[in-house]
Amino acid sequence: MDSDFDEFLHAPARLTIVALLAPAEWAEFGFLRDSIGTSDSALSKQVSALAAEGYVDVRKQAGTGGRRTLVRLTPWGRGAFVRHASALERIAAAARGARAGHSEEV
């Protein structure tokens, strides 16, 4: 297995969250929930797991419309995502190369 492959980050829900956070400075919890199409509780569980491992920061903000929860990748989390994405690209490239080396018979 590629040494940059991150088993923890590879879980579909967590990988989707960090992919959505990658281009943003901060993202609202509601945006993440709606983009992923999950429940508040399921997203909260994944965000908490990511925060506990140091991938994301979470900030609660009081405003005129009520309380907002904001999430962002930490510098370490951003690097972990880049390394993991690169590992996935290398794995896919190796699979494509292996396939190209075999001729298919009809």
Tens digit of each residue's pLDDT (9 = 90 or more) over 21-49: 999 999 999 999 999 999 999 999 999 99
- Would 102 be classed as within a structural domain? no
Task: Specify the number of domains making up the chain.
Answer: 1
CB neighbours (10 Å) of residue 22? Answer: 14
- Would 56 be classed as within a structural domain? yes
Residue 65 and residue 24: Cα distance in Å, rounded?
22
Give the pLDDT confidence score for residue 101 in this predicted structure. Answer: 65
Q: What is the mean pLDDT of each run of 10 residues along the chain (106 residues)?
A: 92 97 97 97 98 98 87 98 96 85 54
Give the pLDDT confidence score for residue 102 in this predicted structure. Answer: 62
Residue 95 and residue 100: Cα distance in Å, rounded?
9
Give the pLDDT confidence score for residue 35 in this predicted structure. Answer: 97
- Would 48 be classed as within a structural domain? yes
Q: Output the domain CATH number for residue 89.
A: 1.10.10.10
Give the pLDDT confidence score for residue 106 in this predicted structure. Answer: 45
Structure tokens at 70: 């904001």
- Would 5 be classed as within a structural domain? no
